[in-house]
A and B are shown apart, each in its own frame.
Chain A
Amino acid sequence: MIELPANAPAGVITADVLKSDVGCFPTREQYFGLVSAFKADGFELCADLCGVDYLEHAGRALPEGVEATRFEVVVNLLSMSKRQRVRIRVQAGTESPAVDSLFPIYPGTEAMEREAFDMFGILFNGHPDLTRILMPEDWEGHPLRKDYGAGRVPVQFKEAPGPR
């Protein structure tokens, strides 16, 4: 268990995750402030950002006081000076998931947030260019959602081109 950075928002819940990582469970309001505080505290690199859809695993283990929602955004920060990783899991919402974009803090999250939007439909407020990244522009639905039904939905392709 590590100390949170000095200027982190008050009341962020932390818990030990496995052996080495530290997990923080901020609310959506605390999320941006907490990541900014970590950045100021020497976490230079945002290693990874991804979404998780907990539709079929709603009863997952969470520390007391965290209100579980269907979607979760998981951020892995890396401090090169301290040689330490920290994981931030924010409950992004159930019906219309949305969190603040980390782009102003770590511009490198741009593509990762676009991927999370493309795959889960999680919106990132303040992202400069929130478009699909892996799926075609006219694709319907968000494939990594648990209720997407892979194999049950007919494959969509662009209309076959006419003769050249």
Chain B
Amino acid sequence: MSEPTVRAAERLEPLVVETSEGAQGLQRRETTPASELSREVGSVLRVDGHAFDPNSVDYERRDDETMIINMGPSHPSTHGVLRIMLELDGEFVLRAKPVIGYLHTGMEKTGEELSYVQGATNVTRMDYLSPVTNELSYSMAVESLLGIEVPERATWIRMMMSELNRISSHLVWMATNGMDLGSTSMMIYGFRERELILAFFEKTAGLRLNLNYVRPGGVAADLPDGWEDDVTVICDTIDERTYEYDQLLTGQPIFRERMVGVAPITAEEALALSVTGPLLRSTGVPWDLRRTMPYLAYDQVDFDVIVGTYGDNFDRYAIRLNEIRESIRIVRQCVEMMPRGDYRSQDPKVTPPPRARIGESMEALIHHFKLFTEGFHVPEGEVYSAIESPRGEIGCYLVSDGGPKPYRIHVRAPSFVNLQAVPLLMRGGSMSDAITVVSTVDPIMGEVDR
């Protein structure tokens, strides 16, 4: 009779090797250089002038008192494939480090191989919850290099669509945040309301998620017949339901326990970490590109920038809930003030000839063919165009060498930058607060990894 063997013990070493990210992961204290340790515990942010102060780092703690555990990359509350390595003392987080790249598909490299016409299909897949803002920042960069004017109606359609998209993105956030905190009914409600907007997107652009609707020169299609009624119904319904969310969550004791005063961040820390969007506004900095550096026609509509006070989880929740209401206000004004005219530029350089002309004119056919095979040439230059996405400043840095494809396309992804605040927000909190931190920072992994 053979001896019973314990197979788990044999597997331990290979498992560690298989999942190791080497130097990218969180290292044990004794092997971490002082500069890196002080960054990971955020001490670089706690001293004046952000200089390194070795005294503010706790070197005394030994490794056998703490434990490094791994959360993700396939943890349900990491909203994708975010891996966070945590150093814990009992239940409290001493250090945290996000390990990213599990969804990296080289979209910036792909962008260099696609023509400017095709480029919008690429960037729309980065932040999959707010495709319109991705396309918009890309299209504005291309238009800025081309020097073409977008018709007024296209501008207003773009504005309305990006606000609808902001609503749908914040609704998903409300849903997943509710789910993370154990409110499964909020999760159902959030996705239910978002469905209204996605149905309208499908009616308008033909697609629900990766719209490819905003393109250089304008938008892909005019709004469908009866769009005013559709949009008004969406606004009325969601506006009414935000007050139901208020009743469900805002005053709810369990919800407040986990949100109020948890994971605060100061304005100085947020600015030093280049954080933007609701995360920055929750600290009391009234910075919203729609108001402070207006693009499209945001200077012609009336809306409020929602600002928090304490920079905690609850402020970030309240900002997003109220931004839904402000976006509804903007959409209602778009319905009222939508101008007539073209939905795309009539510049033949970027716009294909009308369908009817292709059948009767050889030149129009050649023109159409050239536009979709070779694409249009963009003058040499470089440009950075930044707009406000639901998560913060999304920017597109575009370099053109005069050819039909971008020489370099870089997307400044708000989630990628905001993720740097996660170790700071988690520090000192309990393990369960770490879940709420990931939730309220709202990283979209498609955009983080690109």
A, B bound? yes
- Give chain B interface residues in 1-58, CB to chain A under 8 Å: 11, 14, 18, 20-24, 33, 35-36, 38-39, 44-45, 50-52
- CA–CA, A134 and B449, complex, Å: 6
Q: How far is the CB of B299 from chain A (nearest CB, A)?
A: 13
Tell yes or no: A64 within 8 A of B by CB: no
Which residues of chain B have C-beta atoms less than 8 A from A45's C-beta? 271, 274, 276
- Give chain A interface residues in 46-93, CB to chain B under 8 Å: 46-48, 50, 52-53, 56-57, 60-61, 74, 76, 80, 83, 85, 87
Tell yes or no: A6 within 8 A of B by CB: no
Are B272 and A76 closer than 8 Å at their CB atoms? no
Of B79-87, B414-422, B433-441, the stretch lying at the interface with chain A is: B414-422
Tell yes or no: B287 within 8 A of A by CB: yes
Are A80 and B395 closer than 8 Å at their CB atoms? no
Chain B 376-403 interface mask (CB, 8 Å, partner A; 1/0): 0000111110100000010101010100
Q: How far is the CB of A157 from chain B (nearest CB, A)?
A: 12
Are B36 and A108 closer than 8 Å at their CB atoms? no
Which residues of chain A have C-beta atoms less than 8 A from B420's C-beta? 107-108, 110-111
Are B384 and A83 closer than 8 Å at their CB atoms? no
Q: How far is the CB of B42 from chain A (nearest CB, A)?
A: 9
Tell yes or no: A135 within 8 A of B by CB: yes
Are B407 and A57 closer than 8 Å at their CB atoms? yes
Tell yes or no: B290 within 8 A of A by CB: no
Are B417 and A60 closer than 8 Å at their CB atoms? no
**CB closest residue in chain B, given A23:** B382
Tell yes or no: B412 within 8 A of A by CB: yes
Of B99-107, B236-244, B350-358, the stretch lying at the interface with chain A is: B99-107
Are A18 and B381 closer than 8 Å at their CB atoms? yes
Tell yes or no: B293 within 8 A of A by CB: yes
Which residues of chain A have C-beta atoms less than 8 A from B51's C-beta? 104
Which residues of chain A have C-beta atoms less than 8 A from B364's C-beta? none
Which residues of chain B have C-beta atoms less than 8 A from A138's C-beta? 22
- CA–CA, A162 and B33, complex, Å: 34
Tell yes or no: A21 within 8 A of B by CB: yes
Which residues of chain A have C-beta atoms less than 8 A from B273's C-beta? 107-108
Q: How far is the CB of B213 from chain A (nearest CB, A)?
A: 25
Are B395 and A47 closer than 8 Å at their CB atoms? yes
Are A105 and B50 closer than 8 Å at their CB atoms? yes
Are A60 and B380 closer than 8 Å at their CB atoms? yes
**CB closest residue in chain B, given A59:** B401
Tell yes or no: B292 within 8 A of A by CB: yes
Tell yes or no: B122 within 8 A of A by CB: no
- Give chain B interface residues in 82-122, CB to chain A under 8 Å: 100-101, 104, 106, 108-109, 113
Which residues of chain B have C-beta atoms less than 8 A from A14's C-beta? none
- CA–CA, A76 and B22, complex, Å: 31
- CA–CA, A109 and B104, complex, Å: 20
Give how many A-B residue pairs fall within 8 Å (CB-CB): 138
Once A18-B381, A46-B274 are accepted as A-B contacts, the answer to whether A107 and B101 lie under 8 Å apart by CB is no
Count B-side interface residues using an 8 Å CB cutoff: 58
Are A131 and B386 closer than 8 Å at their CB atoms? no
- CA–CA, A164 and B11, complex, Å: 8
Are A80 and B292 closer than 8 Å at their CB atoms? yes
Are B397 and A76 closer than 8 Å at their CB atoms? yes
Which residues of chain A have C-beta atoms less than 8 A from B108's C-beta? 119, 144
Tell yes or no: B144 within 8 A of A by CB: yes
Tell yes or no: B214 within 8 A of A by CB: no
**CB closest residue in chain A, given B382:** A17
- CA–CA, A47 and B450, complex, Å: 18
Are B383 and A128 closer than 8 Å at their CB atoms? no
Q: Which listed residue, A50, A53, A110, A135, touches B101 by the CB 8 Å rule?
A: A135
- CA–CA, A148 and B36, complex, Å: 30
Once A46-B274, A104-B50, A106-B274 are accepted as A-B contacts, the answer to whether A150 and B416 lie under 8 Å apart by CB is no
- CA–CA, A115 and B100, complex, Å: 11
Tell yes or no: A44 within 8 A of B by CB: yes
Are B24 and A110 closer than 8 Å at their CB atoms? no
Are B384 and A129 closer than 8 Å at their CB atoms? no
Pairs A-B, 8 closest by C-beta atoms:
A108-B274, A137-B22, A128-B35, A48-B412, A134-B101, A108-B273, A57-B401, A50-B410
Q: What are 24 A-B pairs with beta-carbon distances under 8 A?
A: A21-B383, A48-B397, A56-B401, A57-B407, A61-B380, A61-B381, A74-B410, A76-B397, A83-B292, A87-B384, A104-B51, A105-B50, A107-B272, A107-B420, A108-B275, A111-B416, A129-B23, A129-B39, A133-B24, A135-B104, A137-B21, A137-B23, A144-B108, A150-B109
> Can you name 11 extra interface pairs (CB under 8 A) apart from A131-B24, A132-B23?
A45-B274, A50-B397, A107-B272, A110-B420, A134-B450, A137-B23, A138-B22, A144-B109, A150-B109, A158-B18, A161-B18
